[in-house]
């Protein structure tokens, strides 16, 4: 749950005046997004989400994120569309922070995804990859293989507090992944954080993707690997091959895999597991005692990492070439 920047009624009324959204009727801070402060704003023109970018988001990256959402919307993808402040700019400043207003998306995220949700996710992710293929801005993935070493260095001395031998296991893993990480897979804009809370549904139909603040330029199949980890394991840790097959089939109907993507999938899944393991470990060790925010369990991702280490072919994920 986010810590909110306080926004006064007077500041907000002034901030929204350049937008073509009518009069301010109400606004509420909402418990969505961990990195930023978000408000649901109601005006005579409709519902909008106002985001204040807090310090964990690099200000220089904001044009990439906002232009990407605008580009994807124009291509017909359901995602938040940033509003123009009347001067061609999508970014303003509010309460001392960069801020943007985006359209409100109906829908809810699914706490317990079923097979049909996984199929929809696969389709929606592939549509995003295709819609972004002619987006002309580039943002390297700061949390890909080059970014993992600093995270491991920052957590190495205290990793044993979570599990004895954890630092040693992760060091071996990272060395192996660094040596084998593929360089020439089909690349484009990926979401890089398509966890269930960023995918909205109305009934069993995907109604939109949100939270593009980890989006970057990277291998499409790495986005798929992140989703295999986030959507296709059961709460007890078991891999659900039926969900994986549904997701991958949904994806391939829109964008087929190359044979290189097929071959690399187990390795990419290991990498994607290590990436979330490391950031969760970092957060776990950083949260002060007594804090009200419960960090996510890094060990969930160690179990996923170990699962993928035993996978010899993408066929294990229900995929057939």
CA neighbor of 99 nearest in space, from 69, 74, 62: 62
CB contact set of 45 (below 8 Å; sequence gap of 6+): 20, 21, 22
Candidate residues 150, 293, 313, 320; the one interacting with its own copies per rule CB under 8 A: 293
In the bound state with its own copies, the residue whose beta carbon lies nearer, of 30 and 145, is: 30
Query: x/- site string to its own copies, residues 100 to 139, per CB under 8 A?
Result: ----xxxxxxxxx---------------------------
Q: What is the 3-state secondary structure (H, E, C) of the chain?
A: CCCCCCCCHHHHHHHHCCCCCCCEEEEEEECCCCCCEEEEEEECCEEEEEEECCCCCCHHHHHHHHHHHHHHHHCCCCCCCECCCCCCCCCEEECCEEEEEEECCCCEECCCCCHHHHHHHHHHHHHHHHHCCCCCCCCECCCCHHHHHHHHHHHHHHHHHCCCCHHHHHHHHHHHHHHHCCCCCCEEEECCCCCHHHEEEECCEEEEECCCCCCEEEEHHHHHHHHHHHHCECCCCCECHHHHHHHHHHHHHHCCCCHHHHHHHHHHHHHHHHHHHHHHHHHHHHCCCCCCCCCCCCHHHHHHHHHHHCCCCHHHHCCCC
Q: Is 292 in the site for its own copies (CB under 8 A)?
A: yes
How far is CA 244 from its chain centroid? Answer: 18
Q: How far is the CB of 268 from its own copies (least distance, A)?
A: 30
Q: Is 22 in the site for its own copies (CB under 8 A)?
A: no
One of 15, 16, 21, 32 touching its own copies (CB under 8 A)? 32
Could you tell me which stretch among 26-34, 77-85, 165-173, 177-185 binds its own copies (CB under 8 A)? 26-34
User: What is the gyration radius of the CA atoms in the chain, in angstroms?
Assistant: 20
Cβ distance to its own copies smaller for residue 56 or 111 = 111
CB of 117 or CB of 243, closer to its own copies:
117
4 counts as binding its own copies under rule CB under 8 A: yes
Residue range at the interface with its own copies (CB under 8 A); choices 173-181, 264-272, 289-297, 301-309: 289-297
Please say which residue, 42 or 156, places its beta carbon nearer to its own copies: 42
Q: Which is nearer to its own copies, 7 or 62 (CB)?
A: 7
Identity of the residue, 292 or 321, whose beta carbon is nearer to its own copies in the bound complex: 292
Residues 158-217, interacting with its own copies (CB under 8 A): 200-202
Q: Using CB under 8 A, which of 8, 242, 286, 313 touches its own copies? A: 8
24 counts as binding its own copies under rule CB under 8 A: yes
Question: Under the criterion CB under 8 A, does residue 96 sit at the interface with its own copies?
Answer: no
Range in contact with its own copies (rule: CB under 8 A) among 62-70, 125-133, 274-282, 290-298 = 290-298
Tokens found for residue 184: 């020439």
Q: Which of 19, 30, 115, 171 binds its own copies (CB under 8 A)?
A: 30
Q: Which residue has the tokens 């005046």?
A: 17
Annotate each residue in 138-157 with x if it binds its own copies (CB under 8 A) or - if it does not, as one string.
Answer: --------------------
Contact residues toward its own copies (CB under 8 A) are 1, 3-4, 6, 8-10, 12, 24-32, 40, 42, 47, 104-112, 200-202, 288-293
């Amino acid at each position: 749950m986010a810590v909110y920047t306080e926004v006064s009624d007077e500041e907000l009324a002034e901030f929204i005046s350049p937008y073509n959204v009518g009069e301010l009727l109400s606004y509420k801070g909402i418990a969505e997004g961990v990195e930023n402060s978000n408000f649901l704003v109601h005006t005579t023109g409709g519902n909008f989400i106002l985001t204040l970018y807090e310090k964990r988001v690099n200000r220089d990256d904001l044009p990439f994120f906002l232009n990407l959402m605008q580009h994807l919307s124009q291509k017909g993808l359901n995602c938040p569309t940033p509003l123009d402040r009347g001067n061609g700019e999508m970014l303003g400043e509010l309460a001392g922070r960069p801020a943007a207003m985006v359209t409100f998306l109906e829908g809810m995220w699914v706490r317990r995804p079923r097979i049909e949700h996984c199929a929809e996710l696969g389709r929606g992710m592939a549509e995003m990859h295709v819609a972004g293929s002619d987006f002309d801005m580039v943002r390297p993935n700061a949390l890909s293989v080059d970014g993992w070493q600093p995270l491991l260095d920052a957590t190495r001395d205290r990793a044993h507090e979570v599990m004895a031998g954890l630092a040693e296991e992760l060091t071996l893993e990272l060395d192996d992944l660094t040596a084998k990480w593929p360089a020439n897979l089909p690349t484009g804009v990926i979401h890089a954080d398509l966890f269930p809370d960023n995918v909205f549904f109305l009934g069993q139909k995907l109604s939109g993707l949100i939270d593009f603040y980890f989006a970057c330029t990277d291998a499409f199949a790495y986005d798929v690997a992140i989703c295999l980890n986030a959507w296709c394991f059961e709460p007890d840790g078991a891999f659900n091959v039926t969900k994986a097959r549904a997701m991958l089939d949904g994806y391939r109907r829109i964008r087929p895999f190359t044979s290189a993507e097929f071959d690399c999938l187990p390795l990419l899944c290991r990498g994607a597991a290590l990436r979330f393991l490391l950031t969760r470990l970092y957060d776990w060790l950083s949260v002060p005692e007594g804090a009200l925010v419960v960090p996510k369990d890094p060990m969930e991702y160690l179990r996923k990492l170990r699962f993928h280490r035993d996978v010899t072919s993408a066929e294990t994920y229900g995929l057939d070439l």
